[in-house]
Amino acid sequence: MSELVHDGISPATSTDEPLLRVEGLAKHFPITLGVVRQKLVGHVKAVDGVSFTLDRGETVGLVGESGCGKSTVTKVLLALNKPTAGQVYFEGRDVFAMGKRELRELRRKIQIIFQDPYTSLNPRMTVGDIVGEPWEIHPEVLPRSGRQQAVRELLDRVGLNPDFVNRYPHQFSGGQRQRIGIARALALRPEVIVCDEPVSALDVSVQAQVINLLEDLQKEFGLAYLFIAHDLSVVRHISDRVNVMYLGRIIETGTNAQVYEQPSHPYTQALLSAVPQHDPAVRGQKKRIVLQGDLPSPADPPSGCHFRTRCWKAQDICAVEYPPLVDRGQGHPSACHFAEIENVVAVGADDGTSTYAKADPTPGSGSQRIGTES
Amino acid sequence: MTLTSPAPDAPTTAGGHLLEVDNLSVEFRTEYGVVHAVNQVNWHLDKGETLAILGESGSGKSVSAQAIMGIIDTPPGYITEGQIRYNGRDMLTMSDEEQRKLRGPDIAIVFQDALSALNPVFTVGAQIAEMFKVHRGMSKKDGMVRAAELMDRVRIPNAKGRVKDYPHQFSGGMRQRVMMAMALSLDPSVLIADEPTTALDVTVQAQIMDLLMELQQETGMGVVLITHDLGVVGEVADRIAVMYAGRIVETGTVYDVFGDPAHPYTVGLMNSVPRVDQRGQRLSPITGSPPNLANIPSGCPFHPRCPRAQAICSQERPPLRPVVVGRHSACHFSEEVLGV
């Protein structure tokens, strides 16, 4: 693998402690039966041993389908839920060993932008109150006298008219509400913003505005983003590094180019091949991996490799042994005994010009269907 | 249609299209004003082809389909003008009884949210069998047998064992298959798919779209695919109609429209979507947000957001007119956008 394309971003190799380090994080939710005397009948292993790092100023994507545990990761990360196992270090300090005061400080430095701009803003508060509320909780950040001015500046920064401070959320469109949420997240000058599906509730033409805004803010304030989404195209656009999750575990991790252009885990390949591609000219030319069946229940995951029940490469060993997330010679870690690079995304023009019809399709990668479909 | 049509079963007439929406306007009279959801919309569908109606939320893309299915609540919704012709006959002037005979057996619909479209207190088998009972007068027992066959046809594993399951016992993708089984039960010649995969994960979406296309090839039905997802359109559509603010702004084959859009809105839409096969470049979004349909801008409804807008655009609404062969665009400057 000598021709790895790195996008100019190399994986964190320095000895410096990353801003955020997650190690072996697990969160199991108990399943109980009965009302008065509750009997424990099992666990939903929502997150089951997840490790990753986040450096200053970078964007790390966390992708996976619904139910893979990506949102649970963020809740545990902020110590909103107690983990079953594992550690999270923020600036080298163990988050779960923090006292009340330290946790407050942590939650100032890590802010969240939520998916649904309709339910994450209090309908009875004005925009000015919403954006200024963080300072009520963390008064040390900004003296009371400067707050009114600061709210106006924040609104202006996220592209809203500062004269709208006295309006209520219902007077804004979805995209504008998401901007209010971003302004609120910026108020405490955080170092990390967890973006939990920040654009999936927005219309396509508005999505791009918010993505551009997030990119601008990152440059301006040196923010690090943990970007959680199910839309693989959006994650590809914004992320420096990407983690792919399946049933509570990270199954492949690498730089943007490694994961998208050289995916080596069968699930990543299936996921990428399922993303519809806009260019009708590559229709029928790209390989489509159609997965059989549905996601198994996280309460009762398959033995060994969680993906083996839907995998076309599965052998006996897959049922016995969980493949560790390591580099097996493909250049980046992948949790598959039989990891093998295969590009499944038909590549169109990569030079910025939209040349759908003119894109030169790669010959020889004819429509092929693999999988266990009958 | 004032003319009496020939024999009701006559397959085609002058226009020759399977389904034709002609100059259709639908408005909703609400207490906040009149919402012009669909304004003089024209499209047609032929046998075996897939027409994609592409638009953002609030563009009116679903309303013309709802008008065809007769599921617009009146009040507040009113069809104020136009025709919907199926095999040349205007459905809007038919008797209720005649309309009912078409909806279901001939024109079927699949909705986005299968969980709320299915009745939670009946088994899926009973709900599919009801189609045979109502339209074919079949007994419940025979209907259940047919239901199991259909569930097998939409590739639900162990179909026989699952006919007596309730909707909540199925996963999202399987529920969408049940919906498709129900829609396909009486061999319709038109299937309207209203955002059929929007609520589904991407791998399940791929399964459902593949199934839909396979079934289309088997039966030769025409498919109207209503969606906001450019990727889905790029993968399966033959022709495309782009809607904005209740109007069609561009039509053409998917190769033409995606290869070289002729309307600034289509151009903007394509430039705002990140693509899985590209990374890095800055997106160029459309400024502003889609208009409120109760208060559509004067002239061209897109002019407040359009980078090419001139004085004429706020005064005169550009009609949907032919630009090059087989393509229509509603922009004063279509030729310049297209560069012809």
Model pLDDT for residues B25-82, shown as the tens digit of each residue: 999 998 888 889 999 999 999 999 999 999 888 888 888 888 888 888 888 889 999 9
User: In 3D, which of A200, A173, A180 has the Cα closest to residue A116?
Assistant: A200
Nearest-CA neighbor of B60 among B302, B228, B235?
Answer: B228
Interface check A5 vs B, CB under 8 A: no
A226 strand-pairing partners: A60, A194
One-letter amino acid identity for B208?
A: I
Same domain? For A210 and A279 the reply is no
Look at residue A327 and tell me if it is in a domain.
yes
The position carrying tokens 């040390």 is A140
The alpha carbon dihedral of B112, B115, B118, B124 has a sign of: positive
Per-residue confidence (pLDDT) for residue A25, from 0 to 100:
93
Closest CB from B171, B276, B289 relative to A345 = B276
Counted across chains A and B, CB pairs separated by less than 8 A come out at: 162
Contact B279 A291 (CB under 8 A): no
Do the chains contact at A358 and B259, CB–CB below 8 Å? yes
A35 interfaces chain B, CB cutoff of 8 Å:
no
Residues B259, A277: C-beta atoms closer than 8 Å:
no
% pLDDT > 70, chain B: 94
Q: A39 in a domain, yes or no?
A: yes
How close A146 comes to chain B (CA, Å)? 30
**Domain annotation covers residue A13:** no
pLDDT tens-digit map of A219-256: 999 999 999 988 888 999 999 999 999 999 999 999 99
Domain match, A234 and A309 both:
no
Give dist(CA B333, CA A229) in Å, integer.
Answer: 38
Do A201 and A270 lie in one domain? The reply is no
| Interface membership of B309 toward A (CB under 8 Å) | no
Paired strand residues for B35: B28
Contact A207 B269 (CB under 8 A): no
Q: Which residue of A has its CA nearest to B277?
A: A347
In this complex, the residue of A280, A291, A352 whose CB is nearest that of residue B234 is A280
Interface subset of A 51-80, CB within 8 angstroms of B: 65-66
pTM of the full structure: 0.82
Whether residues A225 and A323 fall in one domain: no
In a domain, residue A2? The reply is no
Q: Are A149 and A200 within one domain? A: yes
Q: The complex's ipTM?
A: 0.80
Please list every residue in chain B whose beta carbon sits closer than 8 Å to the beta carbon of residue A358: 259
Give the model's pLDDT for residue A228: 92
Contacts of B59 in chain A (CB under 8 A): none
User: Is residue A255 in some structural domain?
Assistant: no
Q: A126 and A30, same structural domain?
A: yes
Let me know how many helices (H) and strands (E) chain B has, helices first. 13, 12
Give the strand pairing for B77-86 and B19-30.
Answer: antiparallel
Distance CA A346, CA B116 (A): 36
User: Which residues of B, range 131-170, sit inside 8 Å of A by Cβ?
Assistant: 157
3-state secondary structure B123-142: CHHHHHHHHHHHHHCCCHHH
Q: Are residues A283 and A218 in the same domain?
A: no
Residues A213 and A279 in one domain: no
The beta strand positions in B15-166, using DSSP E, are: 19-30, 33-45, 50-54, 77-86, 89-90, 107-110
Shared domain for A73 and A213, answered yes or no, is: yes
Domain end among A239, A269, A298:
A239
Any chain B CB within 8 A of the CB of A370? no
- Shortest distance, CA A137 to any CA of chain B (angstroms): 33
Evaluate whether A123 touches A171 at the Cβ level (below 8 Å).
no
Measured CA to CA in angstroms, residue A218 lies from A60, A211, A231, B177 at distances of 13, 11, 20, 43
Look at A278 and B269 and tell me if their CB atoms are within 8 Å: no
How far is it, in rounded angstroms, from Cα A161 to Cα B73? 38
Instruction: Decide if B283 and A237 are in contact by the 8 Å CB cutoff.
Output: yes
Give residue A347's pLDDT: 57
**Contact status of B269 with chain A (Cβ, < 8 Å):** yes
- Considering only alpha carbons, which residue of chain A is nearest residue B207? A290
Same domain? A60 vs A145 = yes
Contacts (Cβ under 8 Å, ≥6 apart) of A89: A17, A20, A21, A22, A23, A95
Domains of chain A: total: 2
| One domain, residues A228 and A297 | no
The answer to whether the CB atoms of B279 and A260 lie below 8 A apart is yes
Per-residue pLDDT of chain A (374 residues; tens, 9 = 90+): 344 334 444 444 445 789 999 999 999 998 888 888 888 888 888 999 999 999 999 999 999 888 888 888 988 988 888 899 999 999 999 999 989 899 999 999 999 998 888 888 999 999 999 999 999 999 988 888 889 999 999 999 998 888 889 999 988 888 889 999 999 999 999 999 999 988 888 888 888 889 999 999 999 999 999 999 888 889 999 999 999 999 999 999 999 999 999 999 999 999 998 888 878 877 777 777 888 777 888 888 889 999 999 898 889 999 999 999 999 888 999 999 998 888 887 654 443 333 333 333 333 333 333 433 33
Strand B328-329 and strand B247-253: pairing? Answer: antiparallel
In a domain, A199, yes or no: yes
Q: Does residue A8 belong to any structural domain of this protein?
A: no
- Whether the CB-CB separation of B229 and B240 falls below 8 Å is answered with no
CATH number at residue A91: 3.40.50.300
Residue of A nearest to B292 (CA): A173
Cis peptide before A301 (omega within 30 of 0): no
Mark yes or no for CB contact A275/B209 under 8 Å: no
Return the pLDDT at B15.
58
Q: At what angle do helices B264-272 and A204-221 cross, to 10 degrees?
A: 50
Distances (CA, A) of B139 to A179, A249, B76, B166, B340: 57, 50, 38, 20, 62
> Does B217 contact chain A (CB < 8 Å)?
no
The partner residue sitting opposite B289, judged by closest CB among A173, A238, A347, is A173
Whether A346 sits inside 8 A of B277 (CB atoms) is yes
Domain that residue A308 falls in? 261-374
Residues A230 and A287 in one domain: no
- Would the CB atoms of B56 and A283 count as touching at under 8 Å? no
On whether the CB atoms of residues B97 and B74 are closer than 8 A, the answer is no
Q: Among partner residues B203, B234, B255, which is closest to A65 by beta-carbon distance?
A: B203
Residue B229 sits at the chain A interface (C-beta within 8 Å): yes
Structural domain includes residue A272? yes
Window 308-327 of A, Cβ < 8 Å to B = none
The CA radius of gyration of chain B, in Å to the nearest whole number, is: 21
B259 neighbourhood in chain A, CB within 8 Å: 280-281, 356-358
Phi, psi of B243 (to 5 degrees): -110, 145
- Give the distance from residue B155's alpha carbon to the nearest chain A alpha carbon, in angstroms: 10
Low-confidence ranges of chain B (pLDDT < 50): 1-14
Query: Which residues from chain A sit within 8 angstroms of residue B157, using beta carbons?
Result: 293
Helix (H, G, I), strand (E, B) or coil at A165: helix
